[in-house]
Amino acid sequence: MFGFGNEYEGLAFWLPLIWAGLIAVAVAMYVIVDGFDLGVGILFKAAHSENWRDRMMFSVAPIWDGNETWLILGGGGLFAVFHIAYAVLMPALYVPIILMLIALIFRGVAFEFRFKSERSKFLWDNAFFFGSLLATFFQGMVLGSFVQGFSNDGRQFTGGTFDFLTPFSVVTGISLICGYGLLGATWCVMKTTGELEIWARRMAVRFLIATIVAMAIVSLWVPFLGRQIEMRWFTWPNIAFLAPIPLITAYVAYRLFRDLDEGRHYRPFFLTIALFLLGYLGLGVSLFPYNVPPNLTIWDTANTVNSQLFALVGFAIVLPITFAYTAYAYYVFRGKVAEEIQGGGYGYH
């Protein structure tokens, strides 16, 4: 019962493409939604008062758990349909992944512990800040090492423990801190009021400048990694099709500056998302169809057709529902966070 044949030639071509698209969406969702709540953590230490920190944390407390679930889907999804990629990438990224997970533990429990503590509150303020900062940094390193590529024999990783650690991956780590900081700041602009909002605007401008500089450095560096990525961008006719990507990026960044200055509430956040998606698109163009650069494609690493189909049936049915109720959860907590938060907190706390 419920066996799908492996005999369809066409499916063996199309399914990995569909799945690559779906997992790209999951990763993009993760980067955006956990990006802003990690970003709130990155700004956390700089906040001027206890009340500000309470309000910042409240703005993400009801939704952070769902945001982080996209990370599990990223890992789980890779295991589900590109198990070879999962098997090669995870050992190759052993150190940054474990460190990212540990950082996420600290910031995750801070949500619960901070509101339950009095004397030890500073501990969880720090856990939230450093956890967010380091989780972001190691995610950026993972991204950087991904672009660099991994030595493998087609089934398993064959490189060393510290292959991931290069000047390039350190720079991508720092870049992601700038980017998530910008997401967090524009989120705070959207979700808070008063002095805190005005401060968030100032922070957003600073992080925007940092993000633009970081994007420029990374974009210029990539061609020197010797992976012939520049061939894809700078040859005719590709250049005609791809030139709009950096141009639109520049325009979005300009619009974002103006919006922050003009006092818009919502749009800076969504423009930041657009900025992220453009960067992400650029990355996709550079790497496709490799999901274990430099040599394994999505077809090399995919599961059997039967396995991919089984997972796809579930995703086709369940994912729209997931989007619907996740959107509903956001809708329930729409609006700005109130300025007075009493005592040790509210809600169920």
Partner 1 sequence: MELDALMLSRIQFAFTIAFHIIFPAFTIGLASWLAALEFNWLRTGNPLYRNLFRFWVKVFAVSFGLGVVSGIVMSYQFGTNWSRFSEYTGNVLGPVIAYEVITAFFLEAAFLGIMLFGWERVGDRLHFFATCMVALGTLISAFWILSANSWMQTPDGFAIENGKAVPVDWFKVVFNPSFPLRYAHMVLGCYITTAFAVAGMSAWMLLRHPHDAPEAKLAASRRSLSMALWFAAIFVPVQIVIGDLHGLGVLKYQPTKLAAIEGNWDRMSNMPLRLFAIPDEEAETNHYEIGIPKIGSWVLTHAFDGEVPGLKEVPREDRPPVWPVFFSFRIMVGIGFAMLGIGLWSLYLRYKGTLFTNRTFLTATMIMTPSGFGAVLFGWFTAEIGRQPFVVYGLLRTADAVSPVSAGAVTASLLTFFVVYAFVFGFGSYYLAKLLRRGPDPVEDIRGDDLSKKPKRPFSVPDEGLEGRPGHRPQPVR
- According to CB under 8 A, which residues from 290 to 309 bind partner 1? 303-304, 306-307
**Phi (first) and psi of residue 347, to 5 degrees:** 70, -135
Q: From the CB of 294, what's the least distance to partner 1, in Å? A: 19
Contact call for residues 215 and 237 (beta carbons, < 8 A): no
Q: Does 328 bind partner 1 (CB under 8 A)?
A: yes
**Phi (first) and psi of residue 29, to 5 degrees:** -60, -45
Contact pick of 18, 62, 230, 277 for partner 1 (by CB under 8 A)? 62
Q: Looking only at residues 109 through 148 of this chain, which bind partner 1 when binding is defined by CB under 8 A? A: 109, 111-113, 116-117, 120, 123
Q: Does 333 bind partner 1 (CB under 8 A)?
A: yes
Contact pick of 12, 17, 90, 285 for partner 1 (by CB under 8 A)? 90
Helix axes 9-44, 267-287, angle to 10 degrees: 140
Q: Does 151 bind partner 1 (CB under 8 A)?
A: no
Q: From the CB of 200, what's the least distance to partner 1, in Å? A: 11
Q: From the CB of 43, what's the least distance to partner 1, in Å? A: 18
Give me the residues paired with residue 296 across strands.
292
Contact call for residues 227 and 184 (beta carbons, < 8 A): no
Number of residues that bind partner 1 (CB under 8 A): 98
Q: Does 237 bind partner 1 (CB under 8 A)?
A: no
Beta-strand ranges (E) seen in 143-242 are none
Q: Does 349 bind partner 1 (CB under 8 A)?
A: yes
Contact call for residues 305 and 15 (beta carbons, < 8 A): yes
Q: Does 106 bind partner 1 (CB under 8 A)?
A: yes
Q: Does 93 bind partner 1 (CB under 8 A)?
A: yes
Alpha-carbon span 103 to 303, nearest angstrom: 31
Alpha-carbon span 80 to 312, nearest angstrom: 10
Among the listed ranges 107-115, 202-210, 250-258, 279-287, the one in contact with partner 1 (CB under 8 A) is 107-115
Give the closest residue to 255 by CA, choosing from 234, 272, 237.
272
Contact pick of 14, 48, 101, 231 for partner 1 (by CB under 8 A)? 101
Would you say 153 or 237 has its CB closer to partner 1? 153
Q: Looking only at residues 173 through 192 of this chain, which bind partner 1 when binding is defined by CB under 8 A? A: 190
Q: Looking only at residues 248 through 287 of this chain, which bind partner 1 when binding is defined by CB under 8 A? A: 262-266
Q: Does 316 bind partner 1 (CB under 8 A)?
A: no
Burial, 197: exposed, middle or buried (Cβ in 10 Å; 0-12, 13-18, 19+)? middle
Contact pick of 105, 213, 231, 239 for partner 1 (by CB under 8 A)? 105
Alpha-carbon span 26 to 163, nearest angstrom: 26
Alpha-carbon span 193 to 31, nearest angstrom: 25
* The two structure tokens encoding residue 125: 């303020």
Contact pick of 18, 45, 94, 209 for partner 1 (by CB under 8 A)? 94
Q: Which residue's entry shows tokens 């490189």? A: 159
Among the listed ranges 175-183, 204-212, 225-233, 335-343, the one in contact with partner 1 (CB under 8 A) is 335-343
Q: Looking only at residues 196 through 235 of this chain, which bind partner 1 when binding is defined by CB under 8 A? A: 197-198
**Phi (first) and psi of residue 146, to 5 degrees:** -60, -45
Q: Does 48 bind partner 1 (CB under 8 A)?
A: no
